[in-house]
């Protein structure tokens, strides 16, 4: 395997090992979840309807932490990688509680850790550690562990974003395909402009 591909694979394996349950999302440019929101709002399908369907399928529970969600639920994409072929695939759609959603948002959460030090951030760092089985009462160790995970994710994203051979593939959304498959799949067809922006080759 060429150098870049094996470097990416090694980084990804470390990240999966360090953060097996809740990881910052790595999404190519032009495919972020905001794009999904604007797409849904611009069609006959509304994001809130899709969220409702997704919530029914998860029985009102967060796809990551399994907590019951009485309040805000957010839709989020999950991507899988084939580093050997340098292909990223849209893997599935998840419905997340607001805490998990914020923690999976790589750049927004990195910015937050650099700009705020409050009890809300402490509680989010603690959730990230607990969900991933990293148990420590030491706040410094906790912060270092989280920083390491986000730095690895950021490195992968940076390498991928600058990789001219990167290809994007759409796949069916596994969690939602049992219900209204055709509706959901049509919602999840990404607009051509986003495809152009992301497939650099
Ligand atoms: Zn959650």
In the reported structure, the alpha carbon of residue 197 is separated from the centroid of ligand 1 by a whole-number distance in angstroms of: 31
Give the pLDDT confidence score for residue 11 in this predicted structure: 95
In the reported structure, the alpha carbon of residue 67 is separated from the centroid of ligand 1 by a whole-number distance in angstroms of: 6
Point out the least confidently predicted range of 21-25, 93-97, 101-105, 150-154: 93-97
Distance, CA of 196 to CA of 76 (rounded, Å): 21
Between 77 and 189, where is the model more confident? 77
Percent of the chain whose predicted confidence (pLDDT) is above 70: 64
In the reported structure, the alpha carbon of residue 196 is separated from the centroid of ligand 1 by a whole-number distance in angstroms of: 32
Distance, CA of 98 to CA of 54 (rounded, Å): 15
The pTM assigned to this predicted structure is 0.75
Point out the least confidently predicted range of 43-47, 101-105, 178-182: 178-182
Could you tell me how many residues make up the chain?
A: 201
């Amino acid at each position: 395997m060429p150098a870049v591909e094996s470097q990416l694979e090694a980084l990804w394996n470390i990240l999966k090992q360090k953060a097996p349950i809740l990881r910052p999302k790595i999404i190519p440019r032009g495919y972020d979840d905001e794009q999904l929101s604007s797409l849904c709002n611009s069609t006959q399908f509304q994001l809130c309807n899709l969220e409702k369907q997704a919530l029914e399928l998860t029985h009102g529970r967060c796809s990551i932490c399994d907590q019951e969600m009485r309040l805000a639920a957010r839709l989020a994409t999950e991507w899988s990688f084939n580093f050997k072929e340098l292909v990223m695939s849209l893997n599935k759609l998840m419905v997340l509680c607001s805490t998990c959603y914020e923690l999976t948002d790589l750049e927004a959460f990195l910015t937050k850790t650099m700009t705020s030090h409050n009890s809300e951030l402490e509680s989010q760092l603690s959730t990230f550690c607990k969900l991933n089985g990293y148990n420590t009462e030491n706040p410094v160790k906790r912060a270092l562990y989280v920083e390491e995970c986000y730095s690895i994710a950021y490195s992968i994203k940076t390498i991928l974003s600058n990789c001219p051979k990167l290809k994007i593939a759409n796949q069916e959304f596994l969690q939602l395909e049992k219900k209204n498959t055709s509706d959901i799949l049509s919602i999840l067809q990404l607009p051509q402009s986003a495809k152009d922006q992301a497939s650099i080759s």
